[in-house]
Amino acid sequence: MPTLILVDIQNDFLPGGRLAVAEGEAVVPVANALMQRADHVVATLDWHPADHQSFASQHKGKSPGDPIELNGLAQILWPDHCVQWTGGAALAPGLHSARIDRLFTKGEDPTVDSYSGFWDNGRRRQTGLQAWLLAQGVQQLWICGLALDYCVKATALDAVAAGFACTVVLDGTRAVGRSPGDGARTVEDLQRRGVRVAHSADL
């Protein structure tokens, strides 16, 4: 059976959160059902210090959604979210968290954002997820969580690059959708780059 990666199913990405994804709560029951069908379950957590430079609040005159350059990388500014040790950074309360074998945090370096569960955006530092998966002999991954067009996408592409067979579970994810059609374009890009996309009922 595959290993399931739950990407950032945290309060700040759910309705009422600081960076809420539309219908984000819908991924929770899908994730819970998938856990029963997986050999291992791991979860990633956005885990930002309060002064993270991806936050618009750290840049005078800037607003969430504004593009900047951050240490040589293109960066979209976000509202403060998933700040370490706050309720917004906690896993969704309806998630069966006792079934999770390991948690991997990301986004702790205030100078670089980190969408993928494997690497930061500058590919300077790994989270430890890849080494853990290899140590367990994992070959096949299912990925769900938030959000499809950012952290789920980046995690899936890094998984394929590392040699894992990877499926993004479409009904177990939702897109931020900053622009119309972002979700559909993300699915096309994932498929073009070697990621399988499927609904949970078809797995």
Q: What residues act catalytically?
A: 8, 106, 151
d(CA 158, CA 153): 9
| DSSP conformation letters of the chain | -PEEEEE--BGGGSTTSTTPPTTGGGHHHHHHHHHTT-SEEEEEEE-B-TT-TTBGGGSTT--TT-EEEETTEEEE-B-S-SBTTSGGGSBPTTS-GGG--EEEEE--STTS---SSSB-TTS--B-SHHHHHHHTT--EEEEEEE-IIIIIHHHHHHHHHTT-EEEEEEEEEE---SSTTHHHHHHHHHHHTT-EEE-GGG-
| β 196-198/3-7 pair status | unpaired
